[in-house]
């Protein structure tokens, strides 16, 4: 009996399970940079961030837990605004991040490179701007990168082709430019291939597997040629007209001189 009481007292003295401090910082900063006009994340409060998981049970809508840690965030189609906090990288156990179909703006944080366990990155259908950070190549387990339907600019980082596990890639309907890296557009061996639909909708992006661009240079040359041709024709016509006018004027002057010479007396 005494032993049982001692065990109960020992268990009572143990501290209550709490979240990983990195997860708490991650969730706190993310909630500060995201705006939730429809109040879909009502339970995203500081008190919940202190203990968001109980084993595999999550107390946060959109979050999935694994052994007391946040390992999946799925906040899709919630009309969220604001930006993505770079402190999201504190959720070091995160394996899937899906913030698609919102109106989130700003850049994709370079700090996502520290999510070394990340396998799925879906930030599609937002209003994200700036360039695709090449640093996300450090997320070596990535097998899905979906960034379609944003406002991303610049070139596609060649380093992304080094992601050997990458099986789904979509950057369509952005404002990307330059050549498609061969390591993504023309993958060799057994690596998954990406077709034109992964790259379409970027008017200044070119290269395989997109169809060849129409030669803008030829059109410009044609226009310049037409302009030069019409200019030359105008010049010839103008010159011919001047010559004819001079000839007529000269003949008139000669005729007038003949008349005057006939009227003048001889000395």
- 16: burial class by Cβ within 10 Å (0-12, 13-18, 19+)? exposed
Task: Give the Cα separation of 144 and 171 in Å (integer).
Answer: 11
Residue 20's pLDDT band (cuts 50, 70, 90): confident
In the block, tokens 């946060």 appear at 60
- For the cut 60, the answer to whether the pLDDT of residue 120 exceeds it is yes
Q: Tens of pLDDT along 142-189?
A: 999 999 999 999 999 999 999 999 999 999 999 999 999 999 998 888
Q: What is the pTM of this model?
A: 0.75
Q: Is the dihedral of CA 80, 65, 166, 193 positive or negative?
A: negative
Sheet holding 168-170, edge to edge: 63-66, 69-74, 96-98, 120-122, 144-146, 168-170
- 138: burial class by Cβ within 10 Å (0-12, 13-18, 19+)? middle
Residue 207: how many other CB atoms lie within 10 Å: 17
Question: Residue 215's pLDDT is what?
Answer: 58
Question: Residue 188's pLDDT is what?
Answer: 83
Q: Tens of pLDDT along 58-76?
A: 999 999 999 999 999 999 9
Token couple for 225: 């040629």
| Contact criterion met (CB below 8 Å) for 70 and 63 | yes
In the block, tokens 């044609």 appear at 222
Task: Give the Cα separation of 80 and 99 in Å (integer).
Answer: 9
Q: Tens of pLDDT along 196-237?
A: 999 999 999 999 999 997 655 444 443 344 344 445 444 444
């Amino acid at each position: 009996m005494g032993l049982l009481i001692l065990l109960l007292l020992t268990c009572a003295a143990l501290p209550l399970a709490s979240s990983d401090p990195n997860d708490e910082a991650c969730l706190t900063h993310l909630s500060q940079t995201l705006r939730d006009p429809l109040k879909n994340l009502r339970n995203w409060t500081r008190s919940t961030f202190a203990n968001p998981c109980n084993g595999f049970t999550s107390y946060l809508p959109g979050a999935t837990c694994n052994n007391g840690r946040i390992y999946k965030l799925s906040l899709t189609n919630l009309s969220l605004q604001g930006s993505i906090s770079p402190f999201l990288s504190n959720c070091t156990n995160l394996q899937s991040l899906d913030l698609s179909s919102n109106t989130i703006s700003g850049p994709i944080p370079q700090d996502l490179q520290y999510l070394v366990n990340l396998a799925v990155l879906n930030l599609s259908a937002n209003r994200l701007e700036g360039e695709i950070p090449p640093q996300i190549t450090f997320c070596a387990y990535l097998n899905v990168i979906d960034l379609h339907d944003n406002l991303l600019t610049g070139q596609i980082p060649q380093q992304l082709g080094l992601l050997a596990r990458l099986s789904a890639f979509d950057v369509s309907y952005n404002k990307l430019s330059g050549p498609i890296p061969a390591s993504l557009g023309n993958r060799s061996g057994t690596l998954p291939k990406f077709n034109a639909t992964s790259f379409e909708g970027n008017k200044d992006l070119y290269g395989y597997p997109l169809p060849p661009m129409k030669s803008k240079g030829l059109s410009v040359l044609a226009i310049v040629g037409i302009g030069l041709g019409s200019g030359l024709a105008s010049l010839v016509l103008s010159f011919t007209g001047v010559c004819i006018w001079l000839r007529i004027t000269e003949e008139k002057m000669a005729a007038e001189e003949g008349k005057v010479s006939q009227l003048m007396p001889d000395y």
